Amino acid sequence: MTSTARRRLAAPTLAMLPRVADSLSFLYADIVRIVQDDTGVLAHVDTPKGTERVYLPAAAISCLLLGPGTSITHRAMSTLARHGTTIVCVGSGAVRCYAGITPTSLTTTWLEKQVRCWADDDKRLQVATHMYERRFGEPVPDGTTLAQLRGMEGQRMKTLYRLLAQKYRTGKFRRNYDPDAWDTQDPVNLALSSASACLYGVVHAVILALGCSPALGFVHTGTQHAFVYDVADLYKAKVTAPLAFSMSTSAQPERDVRRKLREEFRLLKLMPTIVTDIQHLLDPDSAPRQRQPAAEITSLWDPDTGTMPSGVNYSSDTWD
């Protein structure tokens, strides 16, 4: 395979795919045509020497990210669906998330954990507290309410902005997001807004791949992206905010911050980190588990005994 073909597919071989919790592997592709032949799913990649055929490890891919210039046939999508692959339409470098297709074979394990935590007020506060501790690396005093937690978070971010403003000599800074006056904002605010949008796209893709709901947030609420905002906040202080302030002298801060973030996300291996963090937040005691076939993960629910193995007749009656 030529270097051009390798650039078209972020991970052309199984050995290069990042292995993350729950056997999740992400494959990003752009400017390719993905089809199905008699052997398997492959990508047609245009190179200076002609079109190359790159076979994809369909059974090992948990999330296929389709970037700009990508087309995929119905047969290829059907094969990926049978293997339980989530397909997400994203922007260049996966920094936008436009739509996602979740296979019917995807387990609801993490969605159920999310719903249980979200529906219980005590557990919901516990998750929000763990988010704060993960962001800032300090314990939260016992008895802290969610409102107090939000206030503490706001103060920490104001302090961070002040320190970054001093470091990059941007002068007095005030966070401002005004979509109606977008072009009149200062370079740092433009870069912050653009960087946040990029981060939301990556987080959204991971949430869909895990089978969680982007709408069930623990700190944010009232939007279909509430959980996306919650998870993205874990990385703003370390990733997007410092980079945005470094764009203070850029003539095109939006474009420059997007380009730098794409490289940062790859260097930091952000997607595997997001998977691990979400799983730890929703179930701190759970260890990474291998993905199991649907026949092995399906169970029956009972209000008294909880879940029980499927395929067993629990009735005392005998039927002819």
The CATH number that applies at residue 13 is: 3.100.10.20
pLDDT at 7: 47
- What is the domain count for the chain? 2
pTM over 0.75: no
Same domain, 81 and 168: no
Residues 42 and 79 in one domain: yes
% of the chain at pLDDT higher than 70 = 78
Q: Is residue 143 part of a domain?
A: yes
> Could you tell me where the DSSP H helices lie in the chain?
3-8, 74-82, 109-119, 121-136, 146-168, 187-210, 226-235, 241-245, 253-268, 270-282, 294-297
DSSP, collapsed to helix, strand or coil, labels residue 265 as: helix
- Quote the CA–CA distance of 97 and 7 in Å, as a whole number: 20
Range of the domain at 91: 3-101
- Could you tell me if 250 and 224 lie in one domain? yes
Q: Is residue 241 one of the residues assigned to a domain?
A: yes
CA distance readout (Å), 54 to 7, 35, 235: 12, 10, 34
Burial class (CB within 10 angstroms; exposed 0-12, middle 13-18, buried 19+) of 286: middle
Query: What is the Cα–Cα distance from 40 to 90, expressed in whole angstroms?
Result: 24
116 and 87 share one domain:
no
How many whole angstroms separate alpha carbon 85 and alpha carbon 209? 8
Average pLDDT for 177-203: 81
The tens digit of pLDDT for each residue in 289-304 reads 444 444 444 565 666 6
- The band of 9, judged by pLDDT with boundaries at 50, 70 and 90, is low
310 is a domain residue: no
CB atoms within 10 A of CB 270: 19
Q: Are residues 97 and 162 in the same domain?
A: no
What's the order of all strands across the beta sheet hosting 97-101?
26-29, 63-66, 86-90, 97-101
Residue 292: inside a domain: no
Does residue 289 lie within any of the structural domains? no
DSSP 97: E
Residue 298 lies in a domain: no
Query: What are the distances in angstroms from CA 209 to CA 99, 156, 171, 179, 311?
Result: 12, 31, 41, 30, 28
